[in-house]
Amino acid sequence: MDTPAQPVGLRHARCMSVQKQGKRAIGPPESARAFVSKSNRIKSVMAKEDFRKRLEALNRGPLPTGKATPAARQDSSRSSESSRTIPRALDQLIQGEEVSAGGATYYRILRPLSAHWPTDPRIGPRFSGALADASNKIAQDDSPLSTCTQAGLDSQLFLDLETCGFNGTPVFLIGCMYWADGELCVEQLLARNYEEEPAILKRFARLAAHRTALITFNGKTFDWPFVRDRAAIWQIDLADPASHCDLLHVSRRRYGKVVPDCKLQTLELYICNRRRTGDIPGSEIPAAYHDFVRTSDARQVRDIVHHNFLDIVTMAELIIEMHR
């Protein structure tokens, strides 16, 4: 009795199955699996973000957040403040100190990162561990990320500015992060009025003189030229760093094809897996500072300080992710 002929596709599938039997599957290398895993996570976040935007469009407004922001404000949210009992003075809202140097004064907020980052108190050790591991793995080339990594923890200085606008306007907040006493420390220099700008620039110049590997986000275009020009206006010596890693450029090369754009908060969402809520928009920062100078109501300055703090922390998290 003749055996019925099998369809060509079925015979081909069975033949392939027989060929595969007895052979051990060989998976992709570890680095490829990590890349695929990260790409899948980014796609998942993008799908959720697209779904959220569609719901907000139907809702005609932002959706309530079901999960608290990992980095809560260092003080209570402005939305919960009552009109009569809220503190408005700077020293009541932001824990810091007035610093006097050479007859000039400014306000300094100095804190270890681990004490003010409750979702990841070990971010400092993770950062140092990532750099130590990268020093053994990373190619000895002249790329800015490699150069800053090889410079060592004691030479690295993160920088993020808050200004009154574009070139020609004052800088009023200089956010820095550096390694000190075995951990990452954030030092924010605040000019409480326009006259205190040279004082914060002098303090930054002292910090930069001892740390020659600068790390910024869009700093080659904005932060460094801006702070260098403001220092020149006030006749303050500020030497160019020996190396400058602009994480915007590195992010464009690494993530430009897998994320919607390479803005810092976009990378924060898709790469660091963290979403900001209640953050003051960057476009509102200059007007908020001018209001503070005029009224001494520090509520929005507190928000600006927190915005600056988050920008700095995100840069450290990006470096950790880049060295995975």
Residue 5 has pLDDT above 80, yes or no: no
Looking at residue 51, its pLDDT comes to 60
pTM summary value: 0.75
Across 285-313, average pLDDT: 96
- pLDDT per residue over 77-98, tens digit each? 444 454 456 789 999 999 999 9
Looking at residue 79, its pLDDT comes to 47
SS3 assignment, position 298: coil
Looking at residue 14, its pLDDT comes to 46
On the CB side of 299, CA atoms within 13 Å amount to 14
Residue 120 has pLDDT above 90, yes or no: no
Looking at residue 10, its pLDDT comes to 44
Residue 141 has pLDDT above 80, yes or no: no
| Full DSSP string of 79-127 | GG--TTT---SHHHHS--EEEEETTEEEEEEEEEGGGG-TT-TTHHHHH
Residue 142 has pLDDT above 70, yes or no: no
Q: How far apart are CA 120 and CA 117, in angstroms?
A: 6
Residue 164 has pLDDT above 50, yes or no: yes
Looking at residue 137, its pLDDT comes to 54
Q: Bigger pLDDT: 102 or 281?
A: 281
For the chain, give the mean pLDDT.
81
Looking at residue 53, its pLDDT comes to 63
Across 106-119, average pLDDT: 84
* pLDDT band at 167; cut points 50, 70, 90: confident
Q: Bigger pLDDT: 32 or 320?
A: 320
Tallying the residues shown for the chain, one arrives at 324
Q: CATH top-level class for 92-322?
A: alpha beta
Looking at residue 73, its pLDDT comes to 47
Looking at residue 96, its pLDDT comes to 97
Report the Cα–Cα distance between both ends of the chain, in Å, rounded. 63
Across 121-142, average pLDDT: 65
Q: How far apart are CA 195 and CA 207, in angstroms?
A: 21
Residue 12 has pLDDT above 50, yes or no: no
Residue 190's contacts (CB-CB under 8 Å, 6 or more residues apart) are 96, 106, 107, 108, 109, 172, 173, 196, 200, 301, 305
Looking at residue 179, its pLDDT comes to 92
Residue 317 has pLDDT above 80, yes or no: yes
Looking at residue 251, its pLDDT comes to 95
Q: What percent of the chain has pLDDT over 90?
A: 52
Across 191-195, average pLDDT: 97
